[in-house]
Amino acid sequence: MIVNVENMKKIESESGLDTFELMNLVGLKVKDFLIQKYEKNHKILILCGVGNNGGDGLVIGKLLHELNYDVKICLTHNEIKSKTAKLIYDSIDKNIMIKRKSLKNEINKSDVLIDCIYGFGFHGILNEFDKSLFEYINKANKEVISIDVNSGVEADGNYYDKDAIVSKYTLALECYKPFHKIKKDHNLFENLVLIDLGLNHDIESNYIEMDKNKFLENYPIISENSYKGKNGRALLIGGGWGMAGALGLNIIGALSCGSTYLNVSTDESCYPCLASRFLTCVYHPFNEYNWEGIIKSILKNNNSIAFGSGSVRLPAKNKILNLLLESVKTTLVLDAEAINLLSRNYYVLNLTKAKVVLTPHIKEFSRLIDTPIEVIMQNKFEIAKDFCEKHNVILVLKGVHTIVVSNKYIYINQTGNQILARAGSGDLLTGMITALTSIINDTYLATIMAVWLHGYIADIAKERYAISNFQLENYQELLEEFFYKNNL
């Protein structure tokens, strides 16, 4: 389960345990983890901050000392502000406490450092002392264990200081926090371990998770009495002079994910090469003079429609986008050039009756909302959530951890790798989203499933193919194998 700071506080308050009991419970569970990893001859130094996270560290140190471990504790800020932590401090053998002035010397002598400086309540920028200390720790080449979150990061994943502590193990307490799920963004821990505290709660998280079992549970099996178009009738509009390949990757993604009746509408210049490659699609080529009549005639009876991939030179692209926003009442997936056309004019999204899915990468999103990339990256979840709430859309913000955001939920994708860092991977994803949203009624769930599958297949591909010259066309074979092996 993934929860934000607000919900983690609710879980703690509803647990029936007071702060003293919670600190002792955390200390006990972490102590159990440590004694499984380290012998008594390891020199352990616990770094404690001023709050409850520091209190957790005091309990850990006390318990290890009682087991005759070689443990020392340092109050990194020379004080304790938490009343509960002060009670624990009063019960500790002061012989294991060290002064801050000797901290760097003790770091050098230690084998293991336990980071209990800041907890999930950290916000803002590190002060100069912390920056200097954390830099020293990160260069000390010691095994570091961070309790709950690494000091110097915001647990909700919006911000992490460049000097935040880097750990070998980060121990997530009771639930994962958003920070834990964006490892490829920050690379601040090597291993993530969930510590089950056994707290009773019925909190409903707004962070959604997806894995293979959940995908298979939600992908509908085609019944014996099914017919063409009953499962997955979709329409792809896109391509243009010199960009037929983008629409071709749309088609691969859609057909390979189960679209059984696929309409394709494109510039007449793209039609011959696509029609000779993909034989089962129903094509509706157009030009700058007849586009309106042709596209209007095929809008009905599609469960999902996608527009924008490879459409830089597509005739009447602005008018096509306006027509779709005015006419479509089902799922409308907007990619690439369609998103660029919306830049600084995205208020029109509030006027459509379509269930809009936007699929920008970070640069496209930056242009769309006229906000610097650096600002977005420091507050990605909040900015994305705010955008979706204001415009009632689903946002697929592509990156090393693609996020799928609605006006209520957030999904942080865990699949995928550098194989997808190549032109065309987004076009492939658009086709997959279009297919799954045409098959599954829940547009948000279907979009998450497509994003997960897109990355999952890349993880399989990484085991079989060279990374540097991987061809996205191989997705057709890899997806066919996935569906066959799982009886879909």
Give the per-residue pLDDT at 158: 75
pTM: 0.95
- Alpha helices for 329-372 (secondary structure H): 337-342, 362-369
Least confident of 175-179, 328-332, 377-381: 377-381
Residues 47 and 173 in one domain: yes
Q: Are residues 423 and 286 in the same domain?
A: yes
Higher pLDDT, 222 or 117: 117
DSSP E strands: which ranges in 267-328?
A: 282-283, 304-307
- Is pLDDT above 90 for 209? yes
The verdict on 199 and 227 lying in the same domain is no
| Domain identity same for 150 and 226 | no
Average pLDDT over residues 335-351: 93
The per-residue b/e assignment along 33-60, b for 16 or more CB within 10 angstroms, e otherwise, is: ebeeebeeeebbbbbbbbbbbbbbbbbb
% of residues, the chain, pLDDT over 70: 99
Residue 322 reports pLDDT greater than 70: yes
CA distance 83 to 87: 7
Q: Angle at CA 302, nearest 5°, toward 301 and 304?
A: 155
Structurally, how many domains does the chain consist of?
2
- Confidence label for 230 from pLDDT (cuts 50, 70 and 90): low
Domain range enclosing 323? 212-485
pLDDT one-digit tens code per residue, 51-85:
999 999 999 999 999 999 999 999 999 999 999 99
Look at residue 184 and tell me whether its pLDDT is greater than 70: yes
Residue 229 — very low, low, confident or very high, per pLDDT cuts 50/70/90? low
**pLDDT given for residue 226 in this prediction:** 73
Closest to 59 in 3D by CA, of 46, 78, 70: 46
Q: What is the DSSP string of 128-180?
A: HHHHHHHHHHHHS--EEEEESS-TTB-TTSS-B-TTPPPEEEEEEESSB-GGG
**pLDDT, tens only, 128-147:** 999 999 999 999 999 999 99
Note whether 139 and 227 are same-domain residues.
Answer: no
Strand ranges, E, within 325-412: 331-334, 355-358, 394-397, 403-405, 410-412
- Shared domain for 152 and 245, answered yes or no, is no
Q: Do 181 and 55 have their domain in common? A: yes
217 and 200 in one domain?
no
Does the pLDDT of residue 228 top 80, yes or no?
no
Output the domain CATH number for residue 244: 3.40.1190.20
Residue that finishes a domain, picked among 173, 205, 237: 205
pLDDT tens digits for range 355-389 = 999 999 999 999 999 999 999 998 999 999 999 99
Same domain, 195 and 294: no
Is residue 237 within 8 A of residue 306, CB to CB? The reply is yes
Structural domain ending residue among the three candidates 205, 237, 271: 205
CATH code of residue 200:
3.40.50.10260
Answer yes or no: do 159 and 226 share one domain. no
What pLDDT score was predicted for residue 101?
A: 94
- Measure the CA–CA gap between 3 and 11, rounded to whole angstroms: 9
How many angstroms separate the CA atoms of 384 and 388, rounded? 6
Domain end marker among 166, 181, 205: 205
Asked whether 437 and 333 are in contact (CB, 8 A), the reply is yes
Same domain for 228 and 344, yes or no, is yes
Which percentage of the chain shows pLDDT scores above 90? 92
Residues 295 and 429 in one domain: yes
| Mean per-residue pLDDT over the chain, rounded | 95
- Is the four-CA dihedral 11, 15, 20, 21 of positive or negative sign? negative
- Is 344's pLDDT higher than 80? no
pLDDT surpassing 80 at residue 225:
no
